[in-house]
Structure 1
Amino acid sequence: MLLAATASAARAQVDEARLKAAFVYNIVAFSSWNGAPSDARLHVCTATGGPLDAELARLGGRQLGQRRIDVRRGFGAGCDVVVRGARDLAPPASPSTLVICDGCALPDGSSAVSLLREDDRIRFEVDAAAATRAGIGFSSQLLRLARRVL
């Protein structure tokens, strides 16, 4: 019985991570960067640890508009999108980088979007000021779906 409960909890973690990765994909799809893209790849950098990293890695190679998604572990130069956990240190401020945090309370000084678990649902909040500082725009469709826009 303990084994079944452990397997069920692990499956719930994977399902939540898969749903959060889908949120990241759709948030990025409804985002725009001021200026021309640096190259034909959209670099998504992640260091959340655990199942979310694995699910984000599955986005690698998918096409988003004219750009193909490239997923990297860790933060560094050339990241178009950074996905971090609430316990992770904020990545160094970089222009034109969309920072998405899993579980952060906004505003946190760096994240433009926070993914939140609310009961049995995944929701997101947007810090419009942080997005503007990074030169990121969000479609009105995306903003209407946000739990809260600061």
Structure 2
Amino acid sequence: MGPTRNVCLAMAVLPWWLLMPLWCVGQVQDVALKAAYIYNFALFTTWPASAAPAASFNVCATRGKPLWNSLQKLDGKIIDGRPWTTVDSAASPRPGKCDITVLPEGAPAPPSCGQASALLVSDGGLSGRSSAAITLVTEDEHVRFDIDTQEAAHCGLKFSSKLLRLARNVQ
């Protein structure tokens, strides 16, 4: 390869190399935004009175998946008088342990509620194609969400009308 060819190759690759940090920042912001959505879902969801609350508000997610770090940054925030605690769903899959279970994109959803009174949130996927009560969707570079009120009701959960108004689709 001659010097001229190296310069041409560098000029062809340089624009992509300069844009890569912007793509990474966009991806990080997307994950942080999804975690903020999940936090707000917790604020605007009512669990049944029969659900025995644990000392902490447990959010089960998969360690090592993109949302994990952003969800962990919320640890200690208060939800319904209990501190938010991010729990590795693979390490502690006991039924009733999770108040919210976050499924990574492409993960199979457990059948119907998965766990008693747990809010099931799917990160990505198609609305109405899983047993998740809320599905996070990235559409036109914006994070949106769909709500399945029937699935939520089956789990004994109710959503605030404010949350329902913000959803992209409500079934």
- Structure 2-normalised TM-score? 0.81
- Give 1:90 deviation, angstroms: 1.5
Query: Within the alignment, does 1:4 sit opposite 2:25 as a pair?
Result: no
The residue aligned with 1:86 is 105
Matched positions, count: 150
Q: 2:89 aligns with which of 55, 63, 74?
A: 74
Q: Could you say if the C-alpha distance between residues 14 and 117 of structure 1 is closer, same or farther in structure 2, counting changes exceeding 3 Å?
A: same
Q: 1:64 aligns with which of 79, 102, 107?
A: 79
Q: Mind listing any 5+ residue stretches in structure 1 that lack a counterpart?
A: none
- Structure 1 CA distance for aligned equivalents of residues 88 and 123 of structure 2: 15
Query: Within the alignment, does 1:135 sit opposite 2:156 as a pair?
Result: yes
Q: Could you say if the C-alpha distance between residues 141 and 109 of structure 1 is closer, same or farther in structure 2, counting changes exceeding 3 Å?
A: same
Q: Could you say if the C-alpha distance between residues 91 and 54 of structure 1 is closer, same or farther in structure 2, counting changes exceeding 3 Å?
A: farther
Q: Mind listing any 5+ residue stretches in structure 2 that lack a counterpart?
A: 1-13
The residue aligned with 1:29 is 43
Q: 2:69 aligns with which of 38, 41, 54?
A: 54
- Structure 2 CA distance for aligned equivalents of residues 53 and 142 of structure 1: 23
The residue aligned with 1:116 is 137
Identity in percent: 34
Letter in 2 for 1:144: R
- Structure 1-normalised TM-score? 0.91
- Maintained 8 Å contact 2:47/2:117: yes
- Structure 1 CA distance for aligned equivalents of residues 81 and 25 of structure 2: 34
* Regions of 4+ moved over 3 Å: none
Out of 20-29 and 81-90, give the one that drifted further. 81-90
Q: Considering fraction of residues, name the structure with more strand.
A: 1
Q: Could you say if the C-alpha distance between residues 87 and 73 of structure 1 is closer, same or farther in structure 2, counting changes exceeding 3 Å?
A: same
- Give 1:5 deviation, angstroms: 2.4
SS of equivalent residue, structure 1 residue 6:
helix
- Structure 1 CA distance for aligned equivalents of residues 148 and 125 of structure 2: 11
Letter in 1 for 2:40: N
The residue aligned with 1:100 is 121
- Give 1:51 deviation, angstroms: 2.6
- Maintained 8 Å contact 1:105/1:114: yes
Larger Rg: 2
- Structure 2 CA distance for aligned equivalents of residues 118 and 138 of structure 1: 23
- Structure 1 CA distance for aligned equivalents of residues 108 and 64 of structure 2: 13
